Amino acid sequence: MDPSKLTTLGPFARALFYMLNNGDVLEQKRSDSIKRGVAKSSGSYGYFSECYMLFKGATMKKKWLHDLCKNIGKKVRMNGSTTILKNLVTALNYSKCAEDKINKNLKPVLFVYLIKNFKHFYGFRLNNQNYSAYPQEQEYLFMEGMSAWILNVEDDVVIKNELPHVQKFNGKPVTIVYFYIQ
């Protein structure tokens, strides 16, 4: 760490930490706030009625994927602040799975997050023009060190979908990593 950067980056990091740590307070004041709490078997999905799904696309080194595979079924902490998207197409674009020329040392990866908003929303949603220059991406910024369980890793899943906005990804392989956040 470069101590000289503390005077310039320190206040920003502190402000970001405060915003994400207290995101639940802001979340409850929003007109489109996310439901939270246990939905004791109500609804057709029972315990998972109040869950929502988010995505992240990236290219990763094969070794990093191997490290994820070693932790299947385990609770892990995310490094840094985690940006996740509600928009699947944007996430697939970030994975670069539709591109023909990808660095041979990298693999396109789609992270799928199942989130049960039980106690507290540790983050901030950047899904309207008041908070983001790109509200259509429906970005969620989660707090540094957030815990998640790695449920599974599926290697080279070939995408097949009939929806018009997803068809450009058809026939393309992507590795899918499934997370669960409570």
- With bands split at pLDDT 50, 70 and 90, how would you rate the model's confidence at 133? confident
What is the pLDDT averaged over residues 100-112?
90
Considering only residues 123 and 25, tell me which one the structure prediction assigns the higher pLDDT: 123
pLDDT beyond 60 at 106:
yes
Residue whose structure tokens are 């956040």? 181
What is the pLDDT averaged over residues 14-20?
64
Q: What is the reported pLDDT for 36?
A: 56
pLDDT in tens, 81-94: 678 888 889 999 99
Provide, rounded to the nearest whole percent, the portion of the chain with pLDDT above 90. 29
Q: What is the reported pLDDT for 57?
A: 94
Which of 76, 64, 65 shows the shortest CA–CA distance to 155?
65
Residue 145, phi-psi category: left (phi > 0), alpha (psi -120 to 50), beta (remainder): left
* Average pLDDT score over the chain: 79
Architecture per CATH, domain 3-181, reads as: Alpha-Beta Complex (3.90)
CB distance 108 to 157 below 8 Å: no
Report the distance separating Cα 128 and Cα 55, nearest Å: 18
